């Protein structure tokens, strides 16, 4: 692995780890929709680390399913569904009505369930490097 690729991989992994810590803190603070948004970023960044490690150029997109394809990962249907659901946690450019619906959806139970699932996915993705 070249020095440039190693630096890119390290950048994405360090950033993902910081976001994971923030997601866990947000869950404790009961900021559920922000917790889920941060988990989206964690998964996105580790996927971009995998893409970089495989010497591919990452796409400037936030769709986790598409990024996993670019990374060349072979995923179970369950993991594909998890990535699709987690993609919906990216609220950056969504309409206000979508955001309101998401805030209602981001209950304590829903967020705890998805934080746990995405943490497991994050750990699995790290092993793919």
Q: Report pLDDT digits (tens) over 103-126.
A: 899 999 999 999 999 999 999 999
Count Cα atoms within 13 angstroms, Cβ side, for 101.
7
The total number of residues shown for the chain amounts to: 129
A 10 A CB-CB count for 54 gives: 16
Locate 111 and state its tokens.
Answer: 């967020």
The predicted structure's pLDDT at residue 92: 65
Is residue 33 within 8 A of residue 81, CB to CB? The reply is no
> What is this structure's pTM?
0.93
For residue 44, give Cα distances in angstroms to 18, 60, 67, 107: 13, 11, 8, 23
Q: Which domains does the chain carry?
A: 3-126 (1.20.120.330)
The predicted structure's pLDDT at residue 93: 55
Is residue 63 within 8 A of residue 88, CB to CB? The reply is no
Rg, Å, the chain Cα set: 14
Is residue 47 within 8 A of residue 125, CB to CB? The reply is yes
Query: Percent of the chain scored above 90 by pLDDT?
Result: 83
Task: Using the structure block, give the residue that is written with the tokens 């929709």.
Answer: 33
């Amino acid at each position: 692995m070249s020095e440039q690729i190693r630096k890119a991989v390290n950048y994405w992994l360090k950033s993902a780890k910081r976001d994971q810590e923030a997601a866990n803190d947000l869950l404790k603070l009961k900021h559920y929709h922000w917790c889920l948004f941060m988990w989206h970023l964690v998964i996105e960044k580790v996927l971009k680390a995998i893409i970089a490690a495989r010497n591919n150029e990452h796409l400037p997109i936030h769709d986790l399913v598409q990024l996993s394809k670019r990374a060349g990962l072979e995923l179970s249907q369950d993991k594909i569904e998890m990535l699709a659901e987690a993609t919906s946690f990216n609220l950056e450019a969504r309409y206000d009505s979508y955001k309101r619906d998401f805030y209602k959806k981001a209950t304590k139970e829903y967020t705890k369930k998805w934080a746990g699932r995405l943490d497991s996915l994050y750990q699995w993705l790290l092993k793919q490097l």
